[in-house]
Amino acid sequence: GAGVSQSPSNKVTEKGKDVELRCDPISGHTALYWYRQSLGQGLEFLIYFQGNSAPDKSGLPSDRFSAERTGGSVSTLTIQRTQQEDSAVYLCASSPRQGWTEAFFGQGTRLTVV
Amino acid sequence: GENVEQHPSTLSVQEGDSAVIKCTYSDSASNYFPWYKQELGKGPQLIIDIRSNVGEKKDQRIAVTLNKTAKHFSLHITETQPEDSAVYFCASFSGTYKYIFGTGTRLKVLA
């Protein structure tokens, strides 16, 4: 595809359930980022993948959050035992290389925990 | 830690007037400073960026200035139009290889 694709667009889940959010980056982009945007707030860094290097997980808020990037392409963000405070828009971005260049964002997944 | 402060949080201007949004960053190793525009229900989109080796960049009605000594950078929009209404985010690309975003400015251009 032409841009970063995220699925689903919207997800409503019950408290305590696990959810998986998917990101398809732009083909050939080696860097991939996940951010969280709470209502009316800025973008909170979660995790960063660059090529085959170990990911930077320093932004993950708790051990309920994890992410994988398979084959250097598609990434999945998993939230276990969801809580109401996890409700937010989760944004994925990819970049053709590390640094000094634009990050292209997907449209986001709006997660609502009820 | 790394952070970017952004002001103001909301800004209302009359159509045709100028708008200025200011950001301050903390990581002196930051070398790239993009600005993103986010419309309702969409992901952020880059509108302009500046690298640390220049002090100013302009693209039609939009300009960005960078003062590395003071760790300040600003977005200037001239001749504002209603379609400029959106949330704007500044960011710095840090020495730890991630984009650190400001908290956003909601710009309203009044017709």
pLDDT, tens digit (0-9, with 9 covering 90-100), for B6-57: 999 999 999 999 999 999 999 988 989 999 999 998 999 999 999 988 899 9
User: Pick from B32, B89, B97: which is nearest to A56 by CB?
Assistant: B97
Integer Cα distance of B45 and B34 in angstroms: 10
Cα distances (angstroms) measured from residue B72 to each of A25, A84, A93? 31, 36, 25
Residue A102 above 80 pLDDT? yes
Task: With CB atoms and an 8 Å threshold, state whether A105 touches B45.
Answer: yes
User: Is the peptide bond between A8 and the residue preceding it cis, with omega within 30 degrees of 0?
Assistant: yes
Q: Is A56 in Cβ contact with B98 (below 8 Å)?
A: yes
Distance from CA of A110 to the nearest CA of B (A): 9
In this predicted structure, the answer to whether residue B87 has a pLDDT above a threshold of 60 is yes
Rounded Cα gap, residues A61 and B44, in angstroms:
22
A-B C-beta contacts closer than 8 Å: 60
Q: Is the preceding peptide bond at B8 cis, omega within 30 degrees of 0?
A: yes
Contacts of B69 (CB under 8 A, 6+ apart): none
Judge whether residue B70 has pLDDT over 90: yes
pLDDT at A1 over 60: no
Whose structure tokens read 């971005």?
A93
* Interchain contact B5–A (C-beta under 8 A): no
DSSP letter at B83? G
Average pLDDT, chain A: 92
